[in-house]
Structure 1
């Protein structure tokens, strides 16, 4: 089993806060590698972070971390707002809340957001199993009355 670099979790937290969570799509690279995708990047040598995803209402993506130009860690994810949610203002409110939750990412669990985050009448939950070398989880957003608004599944780990 590969050993987890001691500074990988801290780099992931910094990268996530400096890309989608902190800047939304304003962090998007002008010419993404894959046509039609959003691509967000952060570098702090020896590491480089890249997040490429497609879609908005329902989206699929992959994050990678390279060390000295070799990909060492990756996480794939898919999910989004419930299909019956078509109102743009509701979409925007859900994703704004999501970015606030994702800003609370921790070094202990640098995958998505915290286990629980509550704000503006919405509740974010993140249930994850495993460690940075191999993990999977699900995050959800619901209204305080329990109405489900959003779900995303993710998994990943160290590459070998």
Structure 2
């Protein structure tokens, strides 16, 4: 991995831990660029990270990383809790567990969470293909009994 790619991977891990995974909505900027969105940002020059998404039960978003004010990497994603899960408490439990899984992100695959994470009777799985330059994956959360609670699809890579 080149020095720039390694620096990008390390920055992604830091940015994700310091935004949604670590701080949830506490990392949201006060005036997002797009009305009705949540926008999270982290900077560590020469890199800057921005995550903009809409929705909660089902959500759609895009992350970008700039280097010296030029966007060099992006990832889009969509997914969420199963449609029949509508009570707020269950949604909050699923997303709290998701943030715990996302905190376990690794520099080797800095897209979402680890390949497998288990805690509090739930299992997070992340099936990803590709490398930082171009990748796609699916993450799921299920109960210990195998009942699917959540699914998200994502893809992205280096821009050229």
Q: TM-score range by the shorter chain?
A: over 0.9
Are the equivalent residues in 2 in contact too, given 1:20–1:40 (CA < 8 A)? yes
The match for 1:67 is 67
The match for 2:7 is 7
Give the Cα separation in 1 of the matches to 2:153 and 2:3: 25
Give the Cα separation in 1 of the matches to 2:55 and 2:6: 33
Are the equivalent residues in 2 in contact too, given 1:4–1:133 (CA < 8 A)? no
3-state SS of the aligned residue for 1:34?
coil
Structure 1 spans left out of the alignment, 5+ residues: none
Are the equivalent residues in 2 in contact too, given 1:4–1:132 (CA < 8 A)? no
The match for 2:125 is 125
Deviation at 1:87, TM superposition (A): 1.1
Q: So what's the TM-score if we normalise by structure 2?
A: 0.97
Give the Cα separation in 1 of the matches to 2:39 and 2:75: 14
Q: So what's the TM-score if we normalise by structure 1?
A: 0.97
The match for 2:158 is 158
Query: Where in structure 2 are the equivalents of 1:27-42 lying within 5 Å?
Result: 27-42=27-42
Query: Where in structure 2 are the equivalents of 1:61-140 lying within 5 Å?
Result: 61-140=61-140
3-state SS of the aligned residue for 1:97?
helix
The match for 1:51 is 51
Change in CA separation of 1:45 and 1:3 when aligned onto 2, cut-off 3 Å = closer
Alignment deviations for residues 111-156 of structure 1 (CA, whole Å, 9 cap, x no partner): 0000000000000000000000000000000000000000000000
Alignment deviations for residues 3-32 of structure 1 (CA, whole Å, 9 cap, x no partner): 953300000000000000000011000000
